[in-house]
Amino acid sequence: MNYSERYLQTRARTESICYPLKTEDYVVQPIEDVSPPKWHLGHTTWFFETFILKPFLPGYNEYDVNYNYVFNSYYETIGSRVIRTDRGNLSRPSVEDIYNYRKHVDNAMLQLLQTSISEKIKELVLLGFNHEEQHQELLFTDIKYILGHNPLFPKYSEDAELGLKIPSGKNSMATIQEGIYEIGHKGDGFCFDNELGRHKYHLQGFHIAKDLVTNGEFLDFLNDGGYTSHQYWHAEGLNWVKTNNIQAPLYWHKIEGAWYHYTLGGLKPIPMDEALCHISFYEAAAYAAWKGMRLPTEFEWEVAASTFEWGHRWEWTNSAYLPYPGFMRAPGAVGEYNGKFMINQMVLRGASECTSPAHSRASYRNFFHPHLRWQFTGIRLAL
Amino acid sequence: MNYSERYLQTRARTESICYPLKTEDYVVQPIEDVSPPKWHLGHTTWFFETFILKPFLPGYNEYDVNYNYVFNSYYETIGSRVIRTDRGNLSRPSVEDIYNYRKHVDNAMLQLLQTSISEKIKELVLLGFNHEEQHQELLFTDIKYILGHNPLFPKYSEDAELGLKIPSGKNSMATIQEGIYEIGHKGDGFCFDNELGRHKYHLQGFHIAKDLVTNGEFLDFLNDGGYTSHQYWHAEGLNWVKTNNIQAPLYWHKIEGAWYHYTLGGLKPIPMDEALCHISFYEAAAYAAWKGMRLPTEFEWEVAASTFEWGHRWEWTNSAYLPYPGFMRAPGAVGEYNGKFMINQMVLRGASECTSPAHSRASYRNFFHPHLRWQFTGIRLAL
Amino acid sequence: MNYSERYLQTRARTESICYPLKTEDYVVQPIEDVSPPKWHLGHTTWFFETFILKPFLPGYNEYDVNYNYVFNSYYETIGSRVIRTDRGNLSRPSVEDIYNYRKHVDNAMLQLLQTSISEKIKELVLLGFNHEEQHQELLFTDIKYILGHNPLFPKYSEDAELGLKIPSGKNSMATIQEGIYEIGHKGDGFCFDNELGRHKYHLQGFHIAKDLVTNGEFLDFLNDGGYTSHQYWHAEGLNWVKTNNIQAPLYWHKIEGAWYHYTLGGLKPIPMDEALCHISFYEAAAYAAWKGMRLPTEFEWEVAASTFEWGHRWEWTNSAYLPYPGFMRAPGAVGEYNGKFMINQMVLRGASECTSPAHSRASYRNFFHPHLRWQFTGIRLAL
Amino acid sequence: MNYSERYLQTRARTESICYPLKTEDYVVQPIEDVSPPKWHLGHTTWFFETFILKPFLPGYNEYDVNYNYVFNSYYETIGSRVIRTDRGNLSRPSVEDIYNYRKHVDNAMLQLLQTSISEKIKELVLLGFNHEEQHQELLFTDIKYILGHNPLFPKYSEDAELGLKIPSGKNSMATIQEGIYEIGHKGDGFCFDNELGRHKYHLQGFHIAKDLVTNGEFLDFLNDGGYTSHQYWHAEGLNWVKTNNIQAPLYWHKIEGAWYHYTLGGLKPIPMDEALCHISFYEAAAYAAWKGMRLPTEFEWEVAASTFEWGHRWEWTNSAYLPYPGFMRAPGAVGEYNGKFMINQMVLRGASECTSPAHSRASYRNFFHPHLRWQFTGIRLAL
C-alpha cells in the first residue's frame, strides 16, 4: 500500500469510530486520563500539521495558529498547551470546526504525499500513522468511559464488544526452559523506539497460562473477600482500594443480586466464561497472589507469546516500563514520544479488541500507571 | 397577563438566551459554580415537572424517570442527584433530548394552566417563573464564563453587554438620617421567602455614593499596589489573593501594556469610565478600605435605594446572608429554596443587565460566597 | 491593682496552666486550629516584646531576632512568619528556651512598668494582658485537644472540668419586649475594639431560654436521627457532616453501648443532666431547628443577658461577625487584631469555665468559623 | 559475637544516636516520610516484643497493650495502627515512657537470649537486629530533616557529617564486558528476602564511573538552567519540579550570592569537590541526561561494584524495585517486610555514611519513591 492510500485509510478509520457519536459526546472529559473525542480528532491532525506540513510542505498555510495551543498533548518542545484536566472545558473549536481542520490538513498531506518524499518524511509519516492508530484505540476506551459513566448508560453500538469466550479445556500451562533469549523488535517493519535495541536476556525456566483469567474466576476472588484481604495486595494497591472504595472491576454493577457490566453495547449480564477485563495492575497482582501464582515479566511474555493465543486484552506484566539497553531519546519533539514516561508505569503486552491491526506484535510495549483500568486490560498467570 | 401567557414568555426567553450557542457550548462546566447551559434548560423544566405536574396534573406521564437524578440541583427531599462537579461530564441527555423534554413539559403545563388552578398551584407556578428567571441570569453568567475561558475567546453576540457609562459629575453622595426604617418586601407582588418579614430597623445616619465605582477608579487601586497591601484586606481575602494569584478583576487581561476585558461581545479594550464588574466581595471590601470608606449594609442600601439609580450591577453589601425576624423554612422540598444557604454568604443588592425584569426590586436579596466573581458584581461605597 | 502586679499575675497564671504538662505536650499541633502550648507561651511574650519593649524601652536588648519569625501569629505588618500548619513541626526553640525568653521579657517589662508610663503604653499593656488572657483560654482548649486525641487518653488533672448541672425546673423562657435597645460596650473598663460603637438597635419581641441545652437533650436529637435528617441542616452543615463523618459532639465516644466523653480529667461517662459542650454552629442550628426553635442573634443575647445565668459555655448566636456602626481598624499591627477576621465567622456570646475572669462581660464578642468545635461551646434556644 | 552481646550493642547504638537530642526533638514529624525519633525508639522495641517476646517467651508481661496501636508501622496482619501522618501529633507516650518500655523489653529479651533458643527465634532475632539498624539510619536522616527545616538551623553535633572528597584525578570509568553474571546474595550471612534468589543475568558491555558526582559538577547543571530544561527530565520529574518549585538539592540555600547547605554540623558553605547529596531520582536522571550519560541498572552496579569505592551515598539506579525470580512473600506479618512495596519505587545501591555497618554489602537493595531526597543519596554515571 502506498503512503497516500494508507493515509486515507487511517484517517477514515478514525472518523468511522466517531460515527455513532452525538455532538455532545465529543466534548466531555469525565476524568483526567480520558480525553474528549474531539480532542483526539484535533490532536492527531495537529501532529501531521506540526511535524510534517509546517516543516516540509513549502507554502503550507497553517489552519489556525491557536490550535497549536489547544491540541498539543505534552510536547514541551512545541510550546504551551491546554493542561490535560482542562480539555473537557473547551466547547470550541466545535466538532464541525475540527472536521474542517482535518479536511484542510488532509488536503495538504495528500498534496505532499503525491510528491517524492524523503526518507526523513517517510519516517515521520509512518510515525503519524502509528500515532493516529494509538489514538484510535484511545477513542474506543475513552468513548466507553464517557458513555459508561453516564447515568443513562447509552449504547455506542448494538453489536460492539463481543467478549472472548475462554475454551473449557483451559487452565493448561506452557513451559519455557531456562536459557538465553532475544528480546526486542526484529525485522524491518515499523516499531516504536522503545522496542528497539534487540538484546540477549537470560530467563529462568517458567510456566505460563495458555488462557486469560475469566470473569467467573475473578468473581471467586471477589466472593472470597479478595478486595479486603491485605496479604494479597501491594501496600499502594491496598491504599488505592480503600481510598477509592474499589469493590469490583471497572464497569461492574451489582443490581438486585446479579452482576452486570457496561459494554459498548449497553448494560448486560456478565458472561462468566469470558475473559476478564478492566482491572488495574493492583487487582491483577492481588488476584495472582490469591491463586498462589504471579504475573509474567514482559521478557517471559515475549518469549512465550508463540505458545498461546493473544490479542484480546492488554495483559499486565510485572515489569516496570524502563529503557532497553542502548535506548536514547531522539532529539527534538519527536523524542518526547516514549522515553520521558519511563518511570512509575508498568508494561502491558498483547493487544485488545480495540487495538488497530498494525499494533499487534509480540514486541509491542504498552504502559500505564498501575491504578488505571479504563483500557481493555486482563490477566495471564505465570509460575 | 394570565398564567399561560407568562409561562410561554418565560420559557421562550430562556431558549432565546441559548439561541446563539453551538451544541458544544451547552455541555461544558469549567468550574463547579458554573453549570452547563443544557443543565439549566433541563433543571428549570424538571422543577415544573416535579413540583407541579407530578403532584397536580392527573394522568401526567413522566418524561423519563432518570431525569430526576440528572436535573435535581440540591433538593435533598427529592432524592439523589448528580453531584455538582459532575454536571459537565454528562454528554447525555443530548441538547435535542432536552428540548424535547421541554416541549413535553410545556404541553402538559399549558394543559394544566388552562384549567382552573388552585391558589396552591398558582403559588408554585409563580415560584417556577421566578426560579426560571433566576436561571436566565445564570445562563448569561455561565455562558460568559464558558466562552470567556476558552483560549479562542469566541463571541456570544456582537452587540451584547453594553457597559454602563458613569456620568462625569459623579462621586456625589446621598445622605440618610438616623432613624427607624422598615426593611423587607412590601405589597402584594411576588417575592422570595427571604424578603418577607418586613420589620423595623434602626440605622445610624450615613452617606452613600450615587454612582458605582468605575474601571478606571479600580485600576488606580490596582496600580497603587492594592492587591499586595495587606492592610486593606480581610485575612481570608488576602489568602484568596495569594492562593489564586489574583492580580485583577475576572476577565481582565493585560496585553502588550494595555488592559482588555472579555465581554459577551468578545475581547475589547476596557472603557475606563464604565462601571467596574466581576469583582469578589474581598476585592470590593479592600477597594473601599483603600478609599477610606466602606461597603453599605443591606439595610442601608434598601433604605437609600430611592436616592440613586441602580440595576446595572449586583452590588456587594457588608451584610451576611441571614434570616429576617420570623423567617421559617417552608416544609418539604420548596422550603429548601433559601434558608439552608444562610451561612457564609454575603448579600448583594440591586440587579444587573442580565437580570430578568421581574427580579429588580429594592427588597431583593441575592447572595454569594465572598470569593465569587462570575456574576456581574460591582461596588457602591458608603461612609 | 497596679500594672506590675497585674502583669505578674497574668504571666503567672499562663504558666500555672501549663504546670501539669510534660515537655512533649508543649510541642504538638494535631490540627491547624490548635497551637502547641509552647507556641502560646512564646507568642504572648513576643507580643509584649514587639509592641511595647522594642518601641518604648530604651536600650532594650532583643532576646533573639529569629523569634520574631517563629512567634508572630498573623501580623502581616511585622513581617514573615511560620505558617500556622507548621507550628507543630518546630522542636526548637525548646520549652526551656521559651521559659528563659519569658523571664527575659518579664524582667524588662517590670523595669518599664516601674517607670511612669504614658497613656499610649498603658493602653498597649492593657491590650497585652487581655491578649494573654485570651491565649490562656486557648491553652485549655488546645491542651484538651492534644490530650483528648491521643489514643492513651491521658488526664490533664484529676479534678479539672467540673460540668454545669442544669437545674431540674428548667426549660423556662424569658420574654423580651419589642423596642429600641442599646448594643455595645458601656462604661470605662477595658474592651476590644469590636465591642465599641454603642448604638441603638431595634428588636422584635422574643423569648429566650433561661438554661442551656443538656447532653441528654442533645442525645435525643442524635437518637432521633438528627445527624442524617437533612431538613434541619444548612447545606454547608450537611456537607460538613458527610465529609467528616460526624456522628456526635466532639470528644463523645460510644463504648460497648454506653456514651463517654473525654474531659481534662480523663474519659468519663457523660452526665446527661449537664450542659452540652463542644458542638459546631452547624450542630447548634440543626438542633434548634429540630426543636422548632432557633438560635438567638447576638443583639437579642446581649439585651436578654441579665435574665439568665451565663458564663459556662460560649453560646453560638445566629449573627455573623461584622463591624458595629463606626468601626474602623486602628492603624498599624495592633489594628490587625479584630477587623480583618470579619468575614465567614459566627459570633459567640457568654464565656466558658476556661475563660479568664476579665473576659466575662455581656458585650464580649467571640467568633469562630461555623464548623469549629474545640472551644467549650453550647446552645441556648430562642423563639 | 553472641546474640546477647549483639542485642545490647544494637540497642545501645540506637540510643547513642539520640543522645544529642532535646526532648522536643523526639516528638515532631515535619513531613509524612519522616518519623519522630521517639517513634523509632518505640517501634523497634515493639518489633522485638510483638514478633519474639509475645509468641516465644513464656509468661512475658506485655508492657502496655495500647502501644501495639501506637508503634505498629504498617503490619496489617497485626491490626490497626496510628496512620503515618499522625505520628507527630502524639505527645504521649513520653520520651521517658518509651525509654522505660525499651528497658522492659531489653530485660525480657536478655532473659530469652540466655536460654537455648530455636533456629526460628534466631532468625527473627537476626531480623530484629537488621530492622533496628535500618531505623538507625532513618534516625539520622529524620533528625537531619527535623533540625534542618527549623528556622533556627540547630546543630545536631559539631563534628557530624564529614563530606566525601572526590579525588582530583577522577572522572575515570571502569569497563565491564558483555556476559552472563550472577546477581543476588551469596554466602551464609544475613540478608533480606529481596536479595535472595541468586540468578544469572545477561549484561551488555558498559562503562561505569569510578567516582560519584560532586557538588560542583551538579552546580554546573543548575547554572546551565538544568532545572528548567524539559528535555532532560521525565515528564513526572518535570511536573515534580514545577509543582514543588524545586531549584536546588535539598538543604541547599543561596545566601547573598553564595551557596550553603545544612549539615548535621549546622549551616556551612558547600564544598564543591565533595560528593553531591540529597537529590531525587528525577534530579539524578536529569543530570545524567544533561551529561549525555545515564544511571546504571542495579544489575550493572552489583556486577561492577568491585571496581570502585562505594559506601558514602546511596546511589540511584535506573532499576525499578521488583522481585527477583522465585521471590515469594513469607506468610504472616514478617512477610510484609519487603514484597508489598515492590511497585513504583526505584532501587538504590551502595550505603551512606549513616548506614549501620552490617548494611553495607554489594547485593543490598534499598528503595525509595523517585521524588524523595531526605536520604543521603548521590549519583554515579554509566554509559
C89, D86: Cβ pair inside 8 Å?
A: no
pLDDT over 70 percentage in chain B: 96
Q: Is the pLDDT of residue A82 over 90?
A: no
Q: Which of A207, A204, A203 is nearest to A173 (CA)?
A: A207
Window A:301-320, CB contacts with D under 8 Å: 318-320
A89, B29: Cβ pair inside 8 Å?
A: yes
D110 located within any domain:
yes
C138 lies in the same domain as C185: no
Instruction: Compute the nearest-CA separation of D260 from chain C (Å).
Output: 19
pLDDT digits (tens, 9 = 90+) for B91-137: 999 999 999 999 999 999 999 999 999 999 999 999 999 999 999 99
C231, B335: Cβ pair inside 8 Å?
A: yes
**pLDDT band at residue C114 under the 50/70/90 scheme:** very high
C76 lies in the same domain as C210: no
Q: Is the pLDDT of residue C333 over 90?
A: no
- Please tell me whether the interface predicted TM-score (ipTM) of this complex is above 0.90: yes
A/C touch flag: 3 or more CB pairs below 8 Å? no
**pLDDT band at residue B328 under the 50/70/90 scheme:** confident
Looking up cell 479445556 gives A169
Question: Which residues on chain B are in Cβ contact (under 8 Å) with A28?
Answer: 27-28, 88-91
- The rounded distance, in Å, linking the Cα atoms of D251 and D145 is 9
Asked if A48 and A105 touch (Cβ cutoff 8 Å), the reply is yes
Cβ neighbours of residue A41 closer than 8 Å, sequence gap 6 or more: A14, A15, A18, A26, A95, A98, A99, A102
User: What mean pLDDT do residues A223-240 have?
Assistant: 96
pLDDT digits (tens, 9 = 90+) for A257-304: 999 999 999 999 999 999 999 999 999 999 999 999 999 999 999 999
A257 lies in the same domain as A354: yes
Q: Which of B294, B285, B276, B286 is nearest to B217 (CA)?
A: B276
Q: Is the pLDDT of residue D201 over 90?
A: yes
Question: Which residues on chain C are in Cβ contact (under 8 Å) with D37?
Answer: none
Which amino acid would we find at residue A82? Answer: V
Question: What is the DSSP annotation of B1-26?
Answer: --HHHHHHHHHHHHHHHHTT--GGGG
The whole-chain average pLDDT of chain B stands at 93
Cβ neighbours of residue A336 closer than 8 Å, sequence gap 6 or more: A74, A75, A76, A77, A329, D231
User: What mean pLDDT do residues A358-366 have?
Assistant: 94
The whole-chain average pLDDT of chain C stands at 93
**pLDDT band at residue C339 under the 50/70/90 scheme:** confident
Q: Is the pLDDT of residue C46 over 90?
A: yes
Pick from A201, A204, A325: CB nearest D199: A204
Can you give the length of chain D in residues? 383
Q: Is the pLDDT of residue C126 over 80?
A: yes
pLDDT over 90 percentage in chain A: 85
Looking up cell 496512620 gives D83
Q: Is the pLDDT of residue B195 over 70?
A: yes
A157 located within any domain:
no
C28, D89: Cβ pair inside 8 Å?
A: yes
Among the listed ranges A306-310, B4-8, C188-192, D96-100, which one has the minimum average pLDDT value?
Answer: C188-192
pLDDT digits (tens, 9 = 90+) for D35-91: 999 999 999 999 999 999 999 999 999 999 999 888 987 777 776 677 777 888 999
- Greatest Cα pair distance, chain D, in angstroms, is 66
Question: Which residues on chain C are in Cβ contact (under 8 Å) with D38?
Answer: 24
pLDDT digits (tens, 9 = 90+) for C282-308: 999 999 999 999 999 999 999 999 999
Reported as type and span, the H/E element at residue C175 is strand C173-176
B185 lies in the same domain as B97: no
User: What mean pLDDT do residues D249-276 have?
Assistant: 94
Among the listed ranges A11-25, B293-307, B320-334, D312-326, which one has the minimum average pLDDT value?
Answer: B320-334
Pick from C91, C147, C149: CB nearest D28: C91
A220 lies in the same domain as A142: no
Among the listed ranges A76-90, A196-210, B295-309, which one has the minimum average pLDDT value?
Answer: A76-90
Pick from B22, B82, B91: CB nearest A94: B22
Cβ neighbours of residue C17 closer than 8 Å, sequence gap 6 or more: C136, C139, C140, C143
Q: Is B347 left (phi over 0), alpha (psi -120 to 50) or beta?
A: beta
- The rounded distance, in Å, linking the Cα atoms of A231 and D77 is 8
D135 lies in the same domain as D177: no
Question: Which residues on chain A are in Cβ contact (under 8 Å) with B38?
Answer: 24
**pLDDT band at residue B338 under the 50/70/90 scheme:** confident
Question: What is the DSSP annotation of C198-213?
Answer: -EEEEE--EEEESSPP
Looking up cell 487495538 gives A355
Q: Is the pLDDT of residue D203 over 80?
A: yes
Q: How far is CA A109 from CA A97, A131, A356, D105, in A?
A: 18, 16, 21, 77
What is the pLDDT at residue B263?
94
What is the pLDDT at residue D330?
75
Pick from D238, D281, D343: CB nearest A370: D343
Instruction: Compute the nearest-CA separation of A79 from chain B (Å).
Output: 15
B162 located within any domain:
no
Asked if C382 and C206 touch (Cβ cutoff 8 Å), the reply is yes
C23, D25: Cβ pair inside 8 Å?
A: no
What is the pLDDT at residue A156?
95
Instruction: Compute the nearest-CA separation of B183 from chain A (Å).
Output: 43
Number of domains in chain C: 2
* Adjacent-strand bridge partners of B262: B267
Domain boundary among C148, C163, C197: C148
- The rounded distance, in Å, linking the Cα atoms of C170 and B291 is 52
Pick from D70, D93, D146: CB nearest C91: D146
- The rounded distance, in Å, linking the Cα atoms of A135 and A41 is 9
A vs B, Cβ pairs < 8 A, gives 93
D281 located within any domain:
yes
**Nearest residue of C to residue B318 by CA position?**
C322
**pLDDT band at residue D170 under the 50/70/90 scheme:** low
Among the listed ranges A337-351, C164-178, C248-262, which one has the minimum average pLDDT value?
Answer: C164-178
Give exposure, D286-295, as e/b (b: 16+ Cβ within 10 Å): bbbbbbebbb
Q: Which of B130, B143, B141, B129 is nearest to B18 (CA)?
A: B143
- The rounded distance, in Å, linking the Cα atoms of A192 and C207 is 79
- The rounded distance, in Å, linking the Cα atoms of D121 and D113 is 9
User: What mean pLDDT do residues C180-205 have?
Assistant: 94
What is the pLDDT at residue D80?
67
Q: Is the pLDDT of residue A80 over 70?
A: no
Instruction: Compute the nearest-CA separation of B368 from chain C (Å).
Output: 12
Window D:38-97, CB contacts with C under 8 Å: 38, 66, 69-70, 82, 86, 88-95
A56 lies in the same domain as A110: yes
B230, C204: Cβ pair inside 8 Å?
A: no
Which amino acid would we find at residue A147? Answer: L
pLDDT digits (tens, 9 = 90+) for D97-152: 999 999 999 999 999 999 999 999 999 999 999 999 999 999 999 999 999 999 99
Question: What is the DSSP annotation of C271-305?
Answer: PTTBBP-S--HHHHHHHHHHTT-BPPPHHHHHHHG
B323, C318: Cβ pair inside 8 Å?
A: yes
Cβ neighbours of residue D95 closer than 8 Å, sequence gap 6 or more: C23, C24, D23, D26, D27, D38, D41
A154 located within any domain:
no
Q: Is B202 on the interface with C (CB under 8 A)?
A: yes
Q: Is the pLDDT of residue A241 over 80?
A: yes
What is the pLDDT at residue C160?
78
User: Would you give the DSSP letter of residue A52?
Assistant: I
Grid cell listed for C296: 438567638
B202, C200: Cβ pair inside 8 Å?
A: yes
What is the pLDDT at residue C4?
96
Chains with 3 or more CB pairs under 8 A to chain C: B, D
Among the listed ranges B190-204, B299-313, C74-88, which one has the minimum average pLDDT value?
Answer: C74-88
User: What mean pLDDT do residues C107-127 have?
Assistant: 95
Torsion of CA D261, D263, D265, D268, to 10 degrees: -10
**pLDDT band at residue C80 under the 50/70/90 scheme:** low
A130 lies in the same domain as A207: no
Pick from D74, D76, D325: CB nearest A204: D325
Pick from A22, A82, A91: CB nearest B91: A22
**Which of C149-153's residues contact partners 24+ apart within 8 Å by CB, and which partners?**
C149/C30, C149/D89, C150/D90, C150/D91, C150/D92, C151/D66, C151/D69, C151/D70, C151/D82, C151/D90, C152/D66, C152/D70, C152/D92, C152/D93, C153/C262, C153/C266, C153/C267
Helices (H), A81-186: 95-113, 119-148
C117 lies in the same domain as C183: no
**Nearest residue of C to residue B238 by CA position?**
C340
Q: Is the pLDDT of residue B167 over 80?
A: no
Grid cell listed for D329: 512473600
**pLDDT band at residue C77 under the 50/70/90 scheme:** confident
3-class SS string, chain D: CCHHHHHHHHHHHHHHHHCCCCHHHHCCCCCCCCCCHHHHHHHHHHHHHHHHHHHHCCCCCCCCCCHHHHHCCCCHHHCCCCCHHHHHHCCCCCHHHHHHHHHHHHHHHHHHHCCCCCHHHHHHHHHHHHHHHHHHHHHHHHHHHHHHCCCCCCCCCCCCCCCCECCCCCCCEEEECCEEEEECCCCCCCCCHHHCCCEEEEECCEEEECCCCEHHHHHHHHHCCHHHCHHHCCHHHHHHHHHHCCCCCCCEEEECCEEEEEECCEEEECCCCEECCCCCHHHHHHHHHHCCCECCCHHHHHHHHHHCCCCCCEEEEEEECCCCCCCCCCCCHHHHCCHHHCCCCEEEEECCCCCCHHHCCCCCCEEECCCCCCCCEECCCEC
Q: Which of C56, C190, C45 is nearest to C116 (CA)?
A: C56
D122 lies in the same domain as D31: yes
Domain boundary among C113, C148, C183: C148
Chains with 3 or more CB pairs under 8 A to chain D: A, C
B vs C, Cβ pairs < 8 A, gives 84
B237, C343: Cβ pair inside 8 Å?
A: yes
C370, B344: Cβ pair inside 8 Å?
A: yes
Q: Is D204 on the interface with A (CB under 8 A)?
A: yes
Question: Which residues on chain B are in Cβ contact (under 8 Å) with C76?
Answer: 230-231, 238
Q: CATH number, domain at A211?
A: 3.90.1580.10
Give exposure, D326-364, as e/b (b: 16+ Cβ within 10 Å): ebebeeebbbbbbbbbbbbbbbbbbbbbbbbebbebbbb
Q: Is the pLDDT of residue C152 over 80?
A: yes
Pick from A76, A236, A342: CB nearest D343: A236
Q: Is the pLDDT of residue C83 over 80?
A: no
What is the pLDDT at residue A77?
72
pLDDT digits (tens, 9 = 90+) for A146-164: 999 999 999 999 887 766 7
Looking up cell 456478565 gives A270
- The rounded distance, in Å, linking the Cα atoms of D138 and A76 is 38
Instruction: Compute the nearest-CA separation of C93 from chain D (Å).
Output: 8
What is the pLDDT at residue D191?
92
C153 located within any domain:
no
B319, C323: Cβ pair inside 8 Å?
A: no
Asked if B380 and B212 touch (Cβ cutoff 8 Å), the reply is yes
Grid cell listed for C294: 432557633
Q: Is A268 on the interface with D (CB under 8 A)?
A: no
Cβ neighbours of residue D298 closer than 8 Å, sequence gap 6 or more: D317, D319, D347, D349, D365
User: Would you give the DSSP letter of residue B184?
Assistant: S
For residue C273, the tally of other CB atoms under 10 A from its CB is: 15
- The rounded distance, in Å, linking the Cα atoms of C227 and C260 is 19
What is the pLDDT at residue D162?
65
Question: Which residues on chain D are in Cβ contact (under 8 Å) with C151?
Answer: 66, 69-70, 82, 90
What is the pLDDT at residue A170?
66
A178 located within any domain:
yes
Task: State which residues form the domain around D316.
Answer: 173-378
C136 lies in the same domain as C252: no
Q: Is the pLDDT of residue A195 over 90?
A: yes
Domain boundary among D98, D115, D148: D148
Looking up cell 459532575 gives B86
Among the listed ranges B18-22, C69-73, C120-124, which one has the minimum average pLDDT value?
Answer: C69-73
A372 located within any domain:
yes
A209 lies in the same domain as A348: yes
> At B260, phi and psi to the nearest 5?
-120, 160
Q: Is the pLDDT of residue A226 over 90?
A: yes
- The rounded distance, in Å, linking the Cα atoms of D299 and D304 is 9
What is the pLDDT at residue C331?
74
My answer on whether omega of the bond before A58 falls inside 30° of 0, hence cis, is no
What is the pLDDT at residue D76?
74
Q: Is C28 on the interface with D (CB under 8 A)?
A: yes
User: What mean pLDDT do residues C364-375 have?
Assistant: 97
D/C touch flag: 3 or more CB pairs below 8 Å? yes
Q: How far is CA D78 from CA A231, D66, D69, D71, in A?
A: 12, 13, 9, 11
Q: How far is CA A57 from CA A2, A45, A53, A108, D16, in A?
A: 19, 15, 5, 8, 72
B/A touch flag: 3 or more CB pairs below 8 Å? yes
User: What mean pLDDT do residues C231-247 have?
Assistant: 96
